[in-house]
Structure 1
Amino acid sequence: MNATFLLTAALTALAVQAQAQTAATPRAAADQITTPTGSLTVQPITHGSVVLTGSGKTIYVDPYGGAEAYAGLAAPDVVLITDIHGDHLDPKTLAGLSLGKALLVVPSAVAAKLPAEYKARVRVLRNGQRLDTLGLGITAIPMYNLPEAADAMHPKGRGNGYVLHLGGKNVYFSGDTEDTAEMRALKNIDVAFVCMNLPYTMDTQQAAQAVLAFKPGIVYPYHYRGQNGLSDVEGFKKAVRAANQKIDVRLRNWYPAAK
C-alpha cells in the first residue's frame, strides 16, 4: 500500500469526520474582527453562547447546548458564566468540555451551584468588580429586569454581564438584562453582544435604544429566542441603522438548527 493512497485515505476519513460533526452540530460561520494585536475570532454557538479567540487566548461565554457544539474549537483559557439559569450555567455541557486549564469567572450565585471539581479554578466577581488575569481584564456589569423586583426572573445583583478587555478591544456581553442605566452608561465599547427576547429580557426596540445610548462600534444580537420564537433582529438592525449608521450591526445565526 503506497504512501499516496494512505494519505488520501487519511484525508478522506478526516473530511467524513468533519462532515459528520457539522451535520450533528450545525454552527454559524465564524466572524473576524481586526484588533491592534491581530484578528479576534467570534464563533457563535447557540442562544447566549459564544467563543472568542484572540491574543493567544480562547474565551467561552455561557457554554450551553452540549459539548458537541464545541467540537474542533480550542479548549478555553477562561469561561465566563453570567447567571444560574440552565441556558447559561449548564453542568452537562461543562462536564464534556476540556476545562483543565480554564479559569471560571462567575457571580457568587453561580459559584454556589458549580460542581465541587471546579471550585479551585473559580473566581467570583460581583457587579462592578474587575479581574485582571492572563493578559486580559474582566469587569462585571449589572444585569437585571425592569422594574426592579426581588421576584424578577433576573434580580439585580445575582448575575453578571461582562466587559472583556482583550487585544486592545472592549467587548461587552449583556447576559440576561433589560436596557438598564448601567448598560446605557457604558463607554468605549468596541464590540457588544446584546440580548433581546421577551418575556425574559427586552424587546428589540428597547435593545436598539440601549445600543444607541452607549454606541458600540459593532453589535451582535444574540440570545434572541423567546416564548414566541425568534425575535425580529432585522427590525433591531433597521432601528439602529436609521438613527446611527456608524454602528455596525452584524446579524449572525445563533440558531442554525431551528426550522
Structure 2
Amino acid sequence: MQTPALHFLGHATTRVELGGRVALTDPVLTQWIGPLARVAPKPDVGAWTGVDVVLISHLHGDHLHLPSLKLLGAGMPIVVPRGAGSWLAKHGFTAVEEISPGETIVDGDLAITATEAVHSGHRWGPRLTHGPQSPALGHLLEADGYRIYSAGDTDLFPGMAALGPVDVALLPVWGWGPNLGPGHLTPERAAEAAALLQARAAVPVHWGTLAVPGLHRTAKMRRLLVEPPRTFAHHVRCAGLSTEVLHTRPGSDVLLPARREHG
C-alpha cells in the first residue's frame, strides 16, 4: 500500500498519486491559456512525467486545454464527459474514454467515479448552442480505503452529501477574473461544500494562477489572486467544521494529514 501524494499545479490542475497510479486533473501546463496569462509558476516536465490517466471535468478552455494535452502525447489515456470523445478524437487523441455521472472506471487499484457537477458543459460558454457540448463532471478517486474528490467546476448540489465522507476535497474557490459567473463556488459556498462532503481535509483550487493580461495589476485582482483560499479557510472556521484546510500555493506539494480511518 503506497502513501497517497498530491501536487497542486495551479488552477484546476492537480497531480494525484493514489493506488499505484498517477492521475492528472484538467491539465493547463503552458504559459498562455488562450487569452489568459499564467501568473503562477509554469510546471516543468517533471510535473506530468509518469502520468497514467488524465481526467477532464468539462470542455471549457481553462480545463480542456488542447496545447497542454498535446504535451502529454496523443496516446495519453484521457477520460472525458460522455459526448466529448469524438471531438477530442478529431484533434488526434487516440485513447479517449467517455464517462457519465455514477459510472466508474478502474485503472489498476484506482477506481475513478464520475460525479454530478452544476456547471455549463458547452465548449464556448453557457449562452451558445453550436459547437461541442457534454455534461460537466467531478471525479471521486478511490484506492486503499482513501477517497479524494475533485470537483472540477461546480456550484453546490445536494448530491455532494452522498459522496462523503472524503479524505480530501479539491474545491474551487474562485476563477481567473474579477467576478464569478453561474456554476461556480465562492469561498463561502465552498465551505458549505466541505460540510456536505464531510471532508476531512480540503485543498482550495482554481485560484491564483490565470488572469487577463494587465488586469492582474489592478488592486482588486491583486487581492483576488491571493485572498479566496484565506476567505475559504475563514468560513470553514466560522462554520465550526473539523475540515483541515490545506492552503497550498500553485506549483507546490500538498502536505496531506496523517491518515485516519473513517468511522
Between Structure 1 and Structure 2, the one with more helix by share is 1
Aligned residue number for residue 18 of structure 2: 54
Structure 1 position 85 matched with structure 2 position 49? no
**Which of 193, 196, 199 matches 2:180?**
199
> In 2, Cα distance between the equivalents of 1:54 and 1:177?
24
Residue 199 of structure 2 is matched in structure 1 by 216
Q: Give the structure, 1 or 2, with the largest relative contact order (CA under 8 Å, sep 6 or more).
A: 2
Give 2:5's match in structure 1, choosing from 36, 41, 50.
41
Post-superposition offset of 1:144:
1.3
Per the alignment, in what secondary structure is the counterpart of residue 181 of structure 1? coil
Residue type matched to 1:136 in 2? L
For residues 182-212 of structure 1, the C-alpha deviation after alignment (integer angstroms, 9 at most, x for no partner) is 2243222111100122514121111111211
Instruction: Give 1:175's match in structure 2, choosing from 152, 157, 160.
Output: 152
Q: What's 1:3 paired with? A: none
Determine which structure has more spread, i.e. the larger CA radius of gyration. Answer: 1
Give the aligned partner of residue 138 of structure 1. Answer: 112
- Contact in 1 for aligned 2:2/2:20 (Cα 8 Å): no
Q: 1:107 aligns with which of 64, 81, 102?
A: 81
Query: Under a length normalisation based on structure 2, what TM-score does the superposition of the two structures give?
Result: 0.72
Report the residue type matching 1:129 in the other structure: E
| Distance in structure 2 (CA, Å) of the matches to 1:153 and 1:131 | 31
TM-score by length of 1: 0.73
Query: Shift of residue 70 of structure 1?
Result: 4.2
Deviations 1:104-131 (A, max 9, x none): 1110243233144323x21111122112
> In the TM superposition, what is the alpha-carbon distance from 1:84 to its structure 2 partner?
0.5
* C-alpha distance in structure 1 between counterparts of 2:44 and 2:79, whole Å: 19
> Aligned with 2:190: secondary structure?
helix
CA contact (8 A) 2:156 2:189 kept: yes
Asked whether the 8 Å contact 1:189–1:217 carries over to 2, the reply is yes
Contiguous gaps of at least 5 residues in structure 2: 32-41, 212-220, 253-263
The residue number in structure 1 matching 2:38 is none
Q: Tell whether 2:225 aligns with 1:244.
A: no
1:64 pairs, out of 17, 28, 31, with 28
51 and 255 in structure 1: CA distance in 2 versus 1, 3 angstrom threshold: closer
Identical-residue share of aligned pairs (%): 24
